């Protein structure tokens, strides 16, 4: 009975479980069988040599290959990574064994891998000069997954700490059947004088082992030849192979050479026959003797045609070996041995960025989990941060995850989204992988690595942020800001010694991401806060930014809170009436001008015991007030202006939440603030600008109005005058608007001006326009705004009559010219000049 081709695979599911800890149930895999006809076709295409021995696979695993094809490997390209990993292991083994036996390298000193393809044969070969395999090794290692050669070697050398393997020669080897119908393995071991071949079809339940008829062509090592399927022709292209090797194995320690084939056109070179040359010389001599009298003209037409005739071309095929993995894995070296230029060059390799990195951190994490990492901070924003915070789905992760220098994933998110711009590599020996090494298991190890990486990035940024401050502290400046005299008597010019703060240049580009980190990363919120810089009411020009610690150090003793002003432009905020009292008290205010700022500050209630207070909210207390005096004034103003506050609340209706007496206004008659948990003017603007918004802008404005506080200045003349103009009203009175139209317009003008000065927008523009028209009428003392009748202008008079040509009859033109030359033309009037065309 013929066993279907799925049984070919490798060993058993038990063996797979031993390697990966992952078991497929029968329900996971669909049983696919291949008929005898299919196997017969394979046998017709290939017949094993007569001297070969046939072996059946040790385990009957009818569903193993289906698991390999459909479950383990989502991308067929990884077969090349698996074979290179196995070859790297073999090279590591022979290098390790050569430490105790140097003669083992006599057959072949080079430790390398070579990849070549044959388009005509449709084959792809991967060879290495590693330890190789004996006949028994081929039978045992390639017949059973559980008897993996690498696994046994690691067990034998488990007491040695400097040997580590990246391949599990078994499951990875059988990934080659993803792209090939037939696999041939030739191998030569130093302890075996004969080079042997292992061969099997992708459809047979057995494999064959025989002596290589070519003899010892390898010297030492292993050569795997894949007879590719028809749909795997891409692997016969040098550019495609080079990209694959570079992608997965760019930093493998041992050199990888790829043989490239190039076809080009060259001129045909003819080999002249000696007899023809002698005959040609004889004929030439005869012609010379007989034709002494004949003169040969130089440059004849026939000679020119021969010169102009293009040479005959032929196609020539050339082959060359090119090393693919030329970039060294510098993260494996000591930090002290790498200069800045090497770091910058490597950054461009791993990131594809043409600019240099801003800063980087290179470290080894040791403990329960060991890994190496080299993390870079770019100097320019990536495209996805310019257009949108979230990277596109096909955007690769900024970090490449390696296991012993072999790429496992370039899309696994080791960094949180707010640090998606960080570039670099992470190389771990302790990372548990699924059998195909394409997906990383969600384990505590991954979480620990991610947590450690974030902390290292924040530490890198902290050092980068302190770099400028430390440099400036090294400059010894006197009280006037001038440098002290140096030992040699030369004065230092501060303008020359002051350097640019590189962190501020970087921060202006990337600060929104840091602020998103405060929103999303509660564990590192305090660390990120120390990296933030702010414009303030005292430092808001140029590149002047302030740390929160510096702000707190400058606070007066009586100030208890950190005041901030959310807005759009620092200049507008500087001139806002909200700032009047803060300027008079010399209180510094943070200017939050980025769209994300006000969202962020809601997640940070305080810093170093100081609460964040928005000056656009009501209930502002500065900390230096006399509480008894403030209470007495509040009680007095509330009683004194109660008629006006009630009237205004009745007039404004739902446009405001309440009307109150302000204790902070100085120049403005009124302002509109938000309640403590209400929507500020800046937040209302941001909400209206959101494209993906439910409810529309009307809903946003309705919620905003419900939290608006209308503050009036009891010391302002306009407010005092309005108090005299409005009548006292009862709470139950239905119609409180028995005032002059001019007073009503003034009341609403007060509201509109306060609204605009506070950053809000006027939505009822029609009513606003009517009020302004009435105010314009009063200011101009107009009795009516009705339009006057349209005018009926008289018809225009005819133009002046043409110049009478008859009057020129008696005038000599020569005389006119003469008069012009003598200057008498100046005596003519403008009308006369126009008539004469002068």
CA nearest to 199, candidates 243, 142, 274, 269: 142
**Does the structure show a pLDDT above 70 at 150?**
no
- Under the banding of pLDDT at 50, 70 and 90, the label for residue 693 is low
- Residue 271: predicted pLDDT: 63
Paired residues of 463 in beta bridges: none
Residue 91, both tokens: 């090279």
Beta carbons of 642 and 693 less than 8 angstroms apart: no
- Per-residue pLDDT band for 153 (boundaries 50, 70, 90) equals very low
- What are 503-536's pLDDT values in tens digits? 999 999 999 999 999 999 999 999 999 999 999 9
* pLDDT band of 164, cuts 50, 70, 90: very low
Task: Sketch out the chain's domains with CATH numbers.
Answer: 5-261 (3.30.565.10), 330-467 (3.30.230.80), 533-614 (3.40.50.11260), 627-763 (1.20.120.790)
Cβ neighbour number for residue 659 with a 10 Å cutoff: 21
State how far the Cα of 833 lies from the Cα of 831, in Å rounded to an integer: 5
Whole-angstrom distance, CA of residue 229 vs CA of residue 536: 68
Residue located via tokens 């119908």: 181
Structure tokens at 220: 């030492």
Beta bridge partners of 54: 208
Q: What percent of the chain has pLDDT over 90?
A: 36
User: pLDDT tens digits, residue range 274-291?
Assistant: 555 455 554 555 544 444
Distance CA 5, CA 755 (A): 80
pTM of the model: 0.72
Pair 132, 191: CB distance under 8 Å: no
Segment 184-217, tens digit of pLDDT: 999 999 989 999 999 988 756 778 899 999 999 9
Range scoring the smallest mean pLDDT among 167-171, 513-517, 640-644: 167-171
Instruction: Give the residue-averaged pLDDT of 458-471.
Output: 90
Q: Is 729:643 a contact under the CB 8 Å cutoff?
A: yes
Residue 149 pLDDT: 46
The tens digit of pLDDT for each residue in 56-84 reads 665 443 345 555 555 556 678 888 888 99
| Structure token pair of residue 137 | 């090794």
Residue 161: what pLDDT?
42
pLDDT in tens, 757-801: 999 988 888 989 988 888 888 888 888 888 888 988 888 876 655
Convert the pLDDT of each residue in 649-686 to its tens digit.
999 988 999 999 999 999 999 999 999 888 899 998 88
Q: What is the pLDDT of residue 258?
A: 93
For the residues 540-567, what does the mean pLDDT come to? 90
Q: Which pLDDT tens digit goes with each residue over 321-361?
A: 999 988 888 998 899 999 999 999 999 988 888 999 999 99
Q: Looking at residue 72, what DSSP letter applies?
A: I
Q: Is pLDDT of 400 > 80?
A: yes
The tens digit of pLDDT for each residue in 229-270 reads 988 889 998 889 999 998 888 888 899 999 987 777 778 776
Does the pLDDT value for residue 816 go beyond 50? no
pLDDT number for residue 825: 57
Separation of CA 345 from chain center:
19
d(CA 94, CA 221) in angstroms, rounded, equals 9
Name residue 427's beta-bridge partners: 372, 402
Q: 499 and 468 in contact (C-beta within 8 Å)? A: yes
């Amino acid at each position: 009975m013929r066993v279907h081709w799925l049984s070919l695979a490798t060993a058993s599911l038990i063996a797979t479980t031993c390697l990966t800890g992952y078991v497929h149930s029968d329900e996971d895999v669909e049983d696919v069988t291949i008929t005898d006809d299919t196997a017969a076709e394979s046998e017709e295409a290939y017949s094993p040599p007569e001297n070969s021995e046939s072996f059946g696979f040790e385990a009957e695993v009818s569903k193993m290959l289906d698991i390999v094809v459909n479950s383990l490997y989502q991308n067929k390209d990884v077969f090349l990574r698996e074979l290179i990993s196995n070859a790297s292991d073999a090279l590591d083994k022979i290098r390790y064994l050569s430490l105790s036996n140097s003669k083992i390298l006599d057959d072949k000193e080079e430790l390398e891998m070579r990849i070549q393809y044959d388009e005509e044969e449709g084959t792809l070969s991967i060879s290495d000069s590693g330890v190789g395999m004996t006949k028994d090794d081929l039978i045992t290692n390639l017949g059973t997954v559980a008897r993996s050669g690498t696994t046994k070697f690691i067990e034998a050398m488990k007491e040695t700490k400097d040997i580590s393997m990246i391949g599990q020669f078994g499951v990875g080897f059988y990934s080659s059947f993803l792209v090939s119908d037939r696999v041939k393995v030739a191998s030569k071991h130093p302890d075996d004088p004969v080079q042997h071949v292992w061969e099997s079809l992708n459809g047979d339940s057995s494999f064959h082992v025989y002596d290589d008829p070519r003899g010892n062509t390898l010297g030492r090592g292993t050569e795997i030849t894949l007879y590719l399927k028809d749909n795997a022709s891409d692997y016969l292209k040098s550019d495609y192979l080079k990209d694959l090797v570079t992608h997965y194995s760019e930093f493998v320690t041992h050199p990888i050479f790829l043989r490239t084939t190039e076809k080009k056109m060259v001129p045909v070179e003819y080999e002249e026959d000696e007899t023809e040359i002698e005959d040609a010389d004889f004929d030439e001599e005869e012609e010379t003797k007989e034709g002494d009298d004949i003169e040969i003209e130089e440059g004849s037409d026939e000679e020119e045609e021969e010169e102009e005739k293009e040479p005959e071309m032929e196609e020539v095929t050339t082959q060359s070996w090119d090393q693919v993995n030329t970039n060294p894995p510098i993260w494996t070296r000591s930090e002290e041995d790498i200069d800045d230029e090497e770091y910058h060059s490597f950054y461009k390799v791993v990131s594809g960025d043409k600019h240099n990195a801003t800063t980087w951190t290179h470290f080894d994490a040791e403990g329960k989990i060991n890994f190496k990492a080299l993390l870079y901070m770019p100097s320019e924003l990536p495209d996805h941060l310019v257009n949108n915070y979230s990277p596109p789905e096909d955007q690769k992760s900024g970090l490449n995850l390696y296991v012993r220098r072999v790429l496992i994933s370039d899309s696994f998110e080791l960094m949180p989204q707010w640090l998606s711009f960080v570039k670099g590599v992470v190389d771990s020996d302790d990372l548990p992988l699924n059998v195909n090494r394409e997906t990383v298991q969600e384990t505590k190890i991954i979480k620990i690595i991610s947590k450690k990486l974030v902390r290292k990035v924040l530490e890198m940024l902290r050092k980068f942020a302190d770099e400028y401050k430390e440099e400036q502290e090294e400059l010894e400046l006197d009280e006037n800001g001038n440098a002290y005299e140096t030992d040699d008597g030369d004065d230092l010019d501060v303008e020359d010694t002051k350097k640019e703060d590189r962190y501020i240049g970087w921060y202006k580009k990337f600060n929104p991401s840091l602020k998103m980190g405060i929103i999303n990363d509660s564990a590192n919120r305090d660390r990120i806060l120390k990296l933030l810089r702010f414009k303030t009411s005292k430092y808001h020009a140029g590149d002047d930014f302030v740390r929160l610690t510096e702000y707190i150090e400058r606070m007066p003793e009586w100030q208890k809170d950190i005041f901030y002003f959310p807005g759009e432009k620092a200049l507008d905020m500087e001139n806002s009436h909200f700032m009047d009292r803060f300027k008079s008290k010399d209180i510094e205010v943070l200017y939050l001008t980025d769209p994300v700022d006000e969202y962020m500050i809601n997640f940070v209630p305080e810093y170093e015991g100081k609460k964040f207070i928005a000056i656009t909210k009501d209930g502002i207390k500065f900390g230096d007030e006399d509480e008894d005096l403030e209470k007495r004034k509040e009680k007095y103003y509330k009683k004194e202006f109660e008629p006006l506050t009630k009237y205004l609340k009745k007039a404004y209706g739902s446009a405001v939440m309440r009307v109150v007496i302000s204790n902070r206004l100085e120049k403005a008659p009124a302002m509109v603030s938000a309640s403590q948990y209400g929507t500020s003017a800046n937040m209302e603007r941001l909400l209206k600008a959101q494209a993906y918004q439910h409810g529309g802008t009307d809903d946003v404005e309705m919620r905003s109005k419900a939290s608006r506080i209308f503050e009036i200045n009891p010391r302002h003349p306009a407010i005092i005058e309005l108090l005299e103009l409005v009548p006292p009203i009862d709470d139950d009175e239905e119609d409180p608007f028995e005032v002059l139209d001019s007073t009503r317009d003034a009341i609403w003008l007060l509201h509109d001006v306060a609204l605009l000065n506070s950053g809000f927008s006027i939505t009822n523009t029609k009513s606003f326009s009517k009020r302004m028209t009435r105010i314009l009428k009063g200011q101009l003392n107009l009795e009516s705004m009705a339009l006057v009748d349209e005018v009926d202008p008289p018809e225009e008079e005819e133009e002046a009559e043409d110049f009478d040509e008859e009057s020129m009859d008696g005038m000599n033109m020569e005389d006119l010219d003469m008069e012009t030359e003598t200057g008498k033309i100046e005596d003519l009037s403008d009308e006369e000049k126009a008539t004469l065309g002068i």
